[in-house]
Amino acid sequence: MSKRFSVLMGILLILMGGLALAFTLGMPLLGISFLRFGSWRLWPLVVVGTGLIFVAAPFLAWGKRGLGSLFIPGVPILATGGVLLFASLLDAWRAWEWLWPVEVLAVALGFLLAAIWMRAIWLLIPAVIIGANGLVFQFCAITGFWESWAVLWAIEPLSVGLAFLIVNLKARTNGLFIAGAILCAVAAFGMIGMSALFPGWILINALGPATLLFVGFLLLVNSLLRRPAVQGAAPESA
């Protein structure tokens, strides 16, 4: 691990040093003003580099699955650096008004990658819940339809139910499946009931019926694929 870490850090420092040298020495030699060119706007690369170190650590120690937990802080740091770099280069700091949900989605992605790397199926539950909320936040941030939460509040039980159903694919427990199906059904009926408030929002109003169809399909498939109970062996005759 130490050798791989040294190689990675060496390459990273060389790239950062070369970039800094080009801006501090190369550009003045070419008659380009550092401040006028705006190269100082590249400062978010420090945040990006920090995130890359966290994300790269699990790959440097391939056999140590516990390091997969570093994806949880690493991906959000990397996403933060990316948004900061975008805003700094374009001088578009107001972009945070509609890009801040990227942070929530990055946390969900971190949990997802940690679950895959560590083979910890239960980490999918926060990944799905946080990711579903992040998608709704991103939708509202872009469109400005924050009032749609009157219907989209049902994303909370829906995300928990979906998380249970996904985990059940591995755990194979009837209790988890039933709990997930019930939560999804409750969310679907909630969205159908509240959709009357927004008669013109076709996509939002379709979420409830689509969820009901999805839950019904899952129940049908689960019933058809369930193996019949194995009867006990007949007692031996004397």
pLDDT tens-digit series, residues 15-57: 777 766 766 665 566 655 555 555 567 788 888 888 888 888 8
pLDDT band at 230; cut points 50, 70, 90: very low
The pLDDT assigned to 86 comes to 86
Query: CA neighbours within 13 Å on the CB side: how many for 43?
Result: 7
Of 35-44, 153-162, 163-172, which gets the smallest average pLDDT?
35-44
- Token readout for 63 is 């056999």
Give pLDDT, residue 236.
45
The packing angle between helices 2-21 and 45-60, to 10°, is 160
- pLDDT of 235 higher than 80: no
The secondary structure of residue 229, as a DSSP letter, is P
What pLDDT score was predicted for residue 22? 67
Higher pLDDT, 75 or 8: 75
Cβ pair 140, 146 in contact under 8 A: yes
Asked whether the predicted pLDDT for residue 70 surpasses 80, the reply is yes
DSSP sequence for 116-162: HHHT-GGGHHHHHHHHHHHHHHHHHHHH--GGGHHHHTTHHHHHHHH
Domain ranges of the chain: 1-16+27-123, 145-225
Residue 50 CA, chain-centre distance (Å), reads 19
Whole-model pTM: value is 0.71
What is the per-residue pLDDT across 125-138, written as a single tens digit (0 to 9) for each? Answer: 999 999 999 998 99
Tokens of 23: 């801006």
